[in-house]
Amino acid sequence: MIRTETLTKRYGSIVAVDEIDLDVRAGDIYGFLGANGSGKTTTVRMLLGLAFPTSGHILVLGQPIPKSKRTVLPMIGALVEGPAAYGRLSGRANLALFDAMDATGVRRSRRSRIEESLDRVGLGGVDSRPVKSYSLGMRQRLGLAQAILRTPRLLILDEPTNGLDPQGIREIRDLLLDLNGQGTTVFLSSHLLAEVEQTCSRVGVLDRGRLVLQDDLATLTAPTGRTSVRTPDVAKACQALQSRVVVAGDDGLLIETDDPAATNAALVAAGVRVLELGPERHTLEEVVLAATQSGADSMARP
C-alpha cells in the first residue's frame, strides 16, 4: 500500500526526514510513532504529494507519488494538520461541497453518504450551525467524516484524535477498527503510545527524522523467553531457582525460562508464596524508549 525508499526531505541544512524505508502492507493498521517534531507530518505530506521529497522514492497503491497523485488521491482518505473547512458553512454543506468538487463523487448517493459519515464520527445529530462555531473536537470529527466519505482503500491520518476526550478517542479507535475490518488499510500518525498500542497491527518509529524501528506489534511485544514472578519470599525463591534467576528485587524476580508452569511447580514445592507469575513481555513504551534516544518527553499516554 505504501512503500518508500531512502525517502529524504531537507530544509536547507535541516534534515527533517532522513532516508526512511516505509513498508505498509494491505490490511495493516500501521502506527507511525514519533515525538512532536520528529518528522511525522512532513512524511505524511510527502506521501500525499503535498510536499516534494529532496530525494528517494514513494509508491502509494502501487503508483509513484507525486507523479501519479491525481490517479491515486481519489482512492485515499486523509486528515493532515487538522481539518480544512469553510467556517461559514455547516458541516453537511462542507461535506457536500468537498464531494461535488471531485469528479469521482456520485451525486445521487451524496446525501446518504454524508449522513452515514457524520453518524460514524459522532456528528449525526449536529444541526445547521456554521463550522466556525464548532469545538476543536467537532472539527476533528468533521475532518474524519470527510476522510471516510467515499470508503477509501487507504486512510492516512495525522494525529486524528487531537482535541478529543477519552470517549471520543475510543469512538475513533472503534471506527478505524471497523473500517479496517471492511478492507481499508490505515496509516495512523500519532505521538500517543496507548492509541497506537490498542489500535495498530504494525508499527514504525521515527526519531529525529530516522526510522529506527518497523515491525509487527505482536512481534515487538512477544514473550521474551523469561518469566516474571511476584512473591514476598524473594530469598527463598532465589534459593529454589538458583542460577535461573536473572534479576531479584524487593517483591519479585525475573527467571531465565520459557516454562512458567514448571517454574511455578518448583516454587510451590519449595514453599514459596507466588502472588503472580507469567511470561515477561515488553510494552510498546519500553520498545520505543529502547529504540530512541529522545525518550518519552513528547510521547504520552492519554
Q: What is the pLDDT of residues 167-181, one digit of tens each?
A: 888 888 999 999 999
What's the pLDDT band for 194 if we cut at 50, 70, 90? confident
Same domain assignment for residues 268 and 173 = no
Same domain assignment for residues 212 and 229 = no
Q: What's the CA gap between 178 and 171, in Å, rounded?
A: 11
- pLDDT tens string 84-101: 789 999 999 999 998 887
Q: Is the pLDDT of residue 64 over 80?
A: yes
Same domain assignment for residues 213 and 243 = no
**pLDDT (mean) for 113-123:** 92
289 assigned to some structural domain: no
What's the pLDDT band for 128 if we cut at 50, 70, 90? confident
**pLDDT (mean) for 216-239:** 93
Domain hosting residue 38, numbered range: 2-220
Same domain assignment for residues 171 and 245 = no
* CATH number of the domain residue 190 falls in: 3.40.50.300
179 assigned to some structural domain: yes
211 torsion bin: left (phi>0), alpha (psi -120 to 50), beta (else): beta
Closest Cα partner for 298 from 19, 122, 40, 120? 40
| Confidence (pLDDT) at 260 | 86
Residue 97 and residue 91 in contact, taking contact as beta carbons nearer than 8 Å: no
Same domain assignment for residues 213 and 245 = no
Same domain assignment for residues 157 and 250 = no
Q: Is the pLDDT of residue 157 over 80?
A: yes
Same domain assignment for residues 74 and 187 = yes
Number of domains in the chain: 2
What is the chain's mean pLDDT, rounded?
A: 90
Q: What's the CA gap between 41 and 45, in Å, rounded?
A: 6
What's the pLDDT band for 184 if we cut at 50, 70, 90? very high
The pTM of this model reads 0.84
Residues in the chain: 302
Q: Is the pLDDT of residue 75 over 80?
A: yes
- pLDDT tens string 254-299: 999 878 898 999 999 999 999 999 989 889 999 999 898 654 455 5
293 assigned to some structural domain: no
* CATH number of the domain residue 228 falls in: 3.30.70.100
| Confidence (pLDDT) at 161 | 86
Same domain assignment for residues 250 and 201 = no
Query: In this structure, what C-alpha cell is assigned to residue 238?
Result: 532465589
| Confidence (pLDDT) at 151 | 85
CA 9-188-37 angle, to 5 degrees, is 40
- pLDDT tens string 8-48: 999 999 999 999 999 999 999 999 999 888 999 999 999 99
* Residue 269 backbone dihedrals phi, psi, to 5 degrees: -65, -30
Share of the chain above pLDDT 90, in %: 69
Same domain assignment for residues 212 and 228 = no
